[in-house]
Structure 1
């Protein structure tokens, strides 16, 4: 009885985590360059069920699932007109390369909503998070008299599987993604922005699925508790 109770409670928590991922997708449905995420689960330990005396059984029982990680769908979305004078969109594979002006750490994004920021030696092109946008030579792009002294570079990887999300629509590669390579085949669209690739219909379906699974898990917790109370009352 305890096994069913804890398995169901673990399942309810897992479905809540899935709903959190879905909620994040909904919250970013209008975020430029946002890439939808999906939950990936893994099974917890299985054990062999006890057989009756003198009998054998190969039946196993699980102990629930746990959220292992989230996958990111890097599929390209549609384009919309830019909201500022320094907006860019990437048609094809690749990312804009950003550099943190404080730590010099490199990150990547598909959000091309850029603006100007004044530094000690002049104006530079920066992202929404205030990071420097780098050109094809991995150098910050200066702005003189309102004119960019370069164009944002587009960088691709051997694969994008497992890239880590930093938040604020930025990613960093892991070893299996390989080194960034300047993508000369990608087309840079000036004055446009890539829209979010969240599929509203799919997210609604995922919400219904996760909500129903969550309610079933809670019902299982309730049933296990009621059975336990009945057994305890009979013992008394």
Structure 2
């Protein structure tokens, strides 16, 4: 296999990953609060051949000295774009959306490996009955919404109205005239590049987080106590995804053209090798 084939094969695998990222963005264009991902590339190692024996001949040269031969490119990062999505009015009392970037609801995930806290921008809340007089606040997928102390939110008694304030308070009006006030658990993400998608429109820390050597407080901050003044939330609306369909389709076409070009390079390299091997 010649150098052209090696370089092309390396690049084809990375272009496929970029197409997968774009396809995932397009598939989630209608997902509430979804944040698109963007792929960035970097060059692989390259070799430089010094073909000029006399250094004086290279004076005032604007391009790098010698001949550089690369080995392709690789996907260096798939970063979450935190740009705010458009708000869609629903007039539903248990719908809420953030109006500032980087703020997320905390939810509790329980599976066979135990429980863990994940993050979501999906503010479409629902109530699931626990007993005859108690209900729990959950997401559309049934995950528990947490309060500022990372405890599930239980609503007792008969409720007749719900209000979600700008600073993230849930006020439940009871039929007996009393009120139940709960502070929703909100986190501010400062370094989204350390988070990974966990499915079901959730974000969380990677499994190898302990090996990264980064303190958790450097990645996100829990907006509790005086920090709750930073929360910006609106009731009766939902945040749409920040996926721009024309932009994603244009990017997908460009990646497909690059993929076709790289595949064509393999065909040409194979034809050249066939010509060389056919020389007698």
TM-score range, shorter chain: 0.7 to 0.9
Name the SS of the counterpart of 2:13 in structure 1: helix
Q: Which residue of 2 aligns with 1:8?
A: 8
Which runs of 5 or more residues in structure 1 are unaligned?
Answer: none
Aligned pair partner of 1:202 in 229, 242, 247: 247
Instruction: Provide TM-score, normalisation by structure 2.
Output: 0.74
Divergent runs of 4+, >4 A:
54-57, 146-149
Please report how far the alpha carbon of residue 110 of structure 1 lies from its aligned counterpart in structure 2 after TM superposition.
Answer: 0.5
Q: Which residue of 1 aligns with 2:200?
A: 168
Count of paired positions: 234
* Cα contact 1:157–1:181 (8 A) shared by 2: no
Please report how far the alpha carbon of residue 122 of structure 1 lies from its aligned counterpart in structure 2 after TM superposition.
Answer: 3.6
Please report how far the alpha carbon of residue 181 of structure 1 lies from its aligned counterpart in structure 2 after TM superposition.
Answer: 3.0
Report 1:91-102 matches (<5 A). Answer: 91-93=99-101, 94-102=103-111
Q: Which residue of 2 aligns with 1:231?
A: 276
* Structure 1: distance between partners of 2:246 and 2:196: 26
* Structure 2: distance between partners of 1:128 and 1:69: 30
Please report how far the alpha carbon of residue 85 of structure 1 lies from its aligned counterpart in structure 2 after TM superposition.
Answer: 5.0
Please report how far the alpha carbon of residue 83 of structure 1 lies from its aligned counterpart in structure 2 after TM superposition.
Answer: 8.3
* Structure 1: distance between partners of 2:91 and 2:278: 68
Which runs of 5 or more residues in structure 2 are unaligned?
Answer: 56-64, 163-171, 173-179
Whose strand proportion is higher, 1 or 2?
2
Aligned pair partner of 1:65 in 73, 80, 84: 73
* Structure 2: distance between partners of 1:64 and 1:116: 52
Aligned pair partner of 2:87 in 41, 66, 79: 79
Instruction: Provide TM-score, normalisation by structure 1.
Output: 0.87
Stretch of structure 1 that moved more, 77-86 or 57-66: 77-86
Report 1:1-236 matches (<5 A). Answer: 2-49=2-49, 51=51, 58-82=66-90, 85-93=93-101, 94-102=103-111, 103-119=114-130, 122-144=134-156, 145-146=158-159, 148=172, 149=180, 150-173=182-205, 175=214, 176-182=218-224, 183-235=228-280
**Counterparts in 2 of 1:192 and 1:122: CA distance versus 1, 3 Å:** same
Please report how far the alpha carbon of residue 5 of structure 1 lies from its aligned counterpart in structure 2 after TM superposition.
Answer: 0.9
Please report how far the alpha carbon of residue 227 of structure 1 lies from its aligned counterpart in structure 2 after TM superposition.
Answer: 0.5
* Cα contact 2:223–2:230 (8 A) shared by 1: no
